[in-house]
Structure 1
Amino acid sequence: MTITSHLMDCTLNGRCACGSIRYSIAMPAREILHCHCTICRRIHGAVFASFASVPRDAVDITAGREFLTEFASSRDVRRYFCRTCGSHLLIEDDRTPQFTWYSVGTLDGGHPGHSESVERHVFLESRVSWFRFSDPQVCASQVLADQPPSRAKG
C-alpha cells in the first residue's frame, strides 16, 4: 500500500501556532514545493518554505476563520496568516484558481500523502548563497530553477 492510497480516506488536520485557526484537508497533496524565492524566505523567516497543493474545495477552515488575514504578496498571489500569531497557513494563486497551497509545517503531524515524484525545489536562483543540498539523491528532475507551480487541472 502506498502512502497516497492509504491517505485517500483520511483527513489531515492543521492549525496556526496559537491554535486560533484550525483547518482540515480532505485528500492527499497533489504536489509539494519547497520554495526558495525571496518572498517565501522573508515571510517564513527560513531558508525555504514548503507548501502542498490540493483542490480548493478540499480545504476546510474548521475554526477561527475570523482570525485569517490576507496579504497580497504579488499581483496574482494572496497569502493567508493568523492575525494573532502570524502563522502563514494558505496561499491562493490566481494562475491556478482550482488549487490552494497550504504550509505543510502547520499540519498536526502525519504525512501530506504525496509521492516523492511530485516533490520539487523551486526558484533556486533566488536561494541564499550558502544553501547546499545535503542529500546527494536530489537530482535534476527534483530541482527546478524558477518554475511556477504546475498548471495541471487534475
Structure 2
Amino acid sequence: MLLVLEKKIPLHAHVHRSDDICTAIRIAQEYDVRLVLVHCTDGISVKDYLAKFDYPAICGPAMYPKSKQESWARSFATAGELNRKGIKVCITADHDVTPLCHLSVYAAMTVRYGLDELEGLKAITKYPFAYDSHVNQVIHRRRADDSNEQVNSNAVLPKMQA
C-alpha cells in the first residue's frame, strides 16, 4: 500500500457497479493516489462524472455468462462510450475468466459497438503499456517482443461485418 500512497504504482480498483466506481474515485481523491478502474462495468451510467477526472478504465470482459449480479450491466459499448467522454480505456479478457486469446475479438466487438477503430487497437496495445514506467511506446509495425520482424497491422483486429 505504501507504493500506492507514494504514487509509484496506481491503485487498481476492481469495480463493476456505479456506486463502486464513485467510491473508488472518492477514495483516490481523498488520499491523492493514482487510480485505474478495473472492469468499470457500469461506467456508462456515470460517464459524465468519470469524465471530470483523469482516471483510465480497463473495460471488460463483456462476453461471459451473467454469473454475478454486479456485472449484469456489462456491454461492449462501455469502452466506446467512455472513450467519447475523453476517458482513456483499455480492454481486458480478464484471463482466466475468458481466454486471453480472444482479446482481439473483444477489441473488434468494442469497435463494432462504437469505439473508434484506432482507439480499439490502442486499447489492447499502447494504452496497457502506458502504466509501466519501463515501457512508454509501441513502435509502429514491430512485434511486442522487440524482434525486428515486421507485422501486418491489418491482421491485429478482425474485420467485423454488419
**Smaller-chain TM-score bracket:** under 0.3
Structure ID, larger Rg: 2
Q: TM-score, normalised by structure 2?
A: 0.25
Q: TM-score, normalised by structure 1?
A: 0.26
Relative to its length, the structure with more helix (as a share) is: 2
